[in-house]
Structure 1
């Protein structure tokens, strides 16, 4: 997706503005189980459906907080955080993360992205700070809010070889 008039040259004009809202993504039990296997975090509240149904205060399994956090970057890219003219967008860090509401298995989430700041670096690259609000379908409170940092590396044009050059 591409934001109108959003580029590395005009990115400062977008500070303080919402860049967009991603599509909904379902956090089903199979995604939760795959994340548990990948990370080794197999706590029952995430992977034991029957026990979670009986004992969890949420009435069933919930996604790992870090699973929900891992969705922030790809959903921000989906809305067009990385503008044309950028060869790479790299995770640079986190300034603040708060896990507000557990995401129940089967829930849908989406990311609302707002550009907070831009810090220009040498070589045409910039560090952007973005506010991410991972919303849960049907609830007023977000799953999380996260201030993330990304380094956008400018694409440098290669000079065309001169006529007759080998």
Structure 2
């Protein structure tokens, strides 16, 4: 994306276009364990490394799907989905999420983002729908595809 040409004023020009691809993020076992601690989801397939190597159909521990989804916030900022002239940006929700391929502990992921829709709202706000495809390095299928919503606030 060319930051100088991407703005609140011309968001509609970007509909249907790829905004960019984030840097790779490593989803290590420590991150998985921290997520389990924060959420209380200590399912063995995520946190019991020895058992996951013995019994998991994935050959070892995998990240929580919601951990992969949560990584979208930072990866989206890395892409620059919030135009420089925006006063603020707020998570507005999700329209659709599909978890396609588990992310194995130690794998690297990144997101590829396309602007799908822009809806003008009162007060100079714009509701944007972004299609995020989270790729796993070395895997043919994505980890997830998520339609995220953000409210962008322009200067009034």
TM-score (norm 2): 0.97
> In the TM superposition, what is the alpha-carbon distance from 1:88 to its structure 2 partner?
1.3
> In the TM superposition, what is the alpha-carbon distance from 1:84 to its structure 2 partner?
1.5
User: Which ranges of 4 or more aligned residues in structure 1 deviate by more than 6 Å?
Assistant: none
Alignment of 1:11-160 (within 5 A): 11-156=11-156
Q: Secondary structure at the match of 2:145?
A: strand
> Number of aligned pairs?
156
Partner residue in 2 for 1:160: none
Q: Secondary structure at the match of 1:23?
A: coil
What RMSD, in angstroms, separates the aligned Cα atoms of the two structures?
1.1
> In the TM superposition, what is the alpha-carbon distance from 1:39 to its structure 2 partner?
0.2
Structure 1: 5+ residue runs without aligned partners? 157-166
* In 2: Cα distance, 1:72 partner to 1:2 partner: 21
* In 2: Cα distance, 1:130 partner to 1:108 partner: 21
TM-score (norm 1): 0.91
Structure 2: 5+ residue runs without aligned partners? none
Q: Secondary structure at the match of 1:35?
A: helix
Q: Secondary structure at the match of 1:115?
A: strand
CA deviations 1:77-113 (Å, max 9, x no partner) are 1111000121211110100000000000000000000
Alpha carbons 1:2, 1:83 under 8 Å: kept:
no
CA deviations 1:54-93 (Å, max 9, x no partner) are 0000010000000000011221111110001212111101
Alpha carbons 1:3, 1:19 under 8 Å: kept:
no
Change in CA separation of 1:74 and 1:2 when aligned onto 2, cut-off 3 Å:
farther
Alpha carbons 2:3, 2:84 under 8 Å: kept:
no
Alpha carbons 1:93, 1:150 under 8 Å: kept:
yes
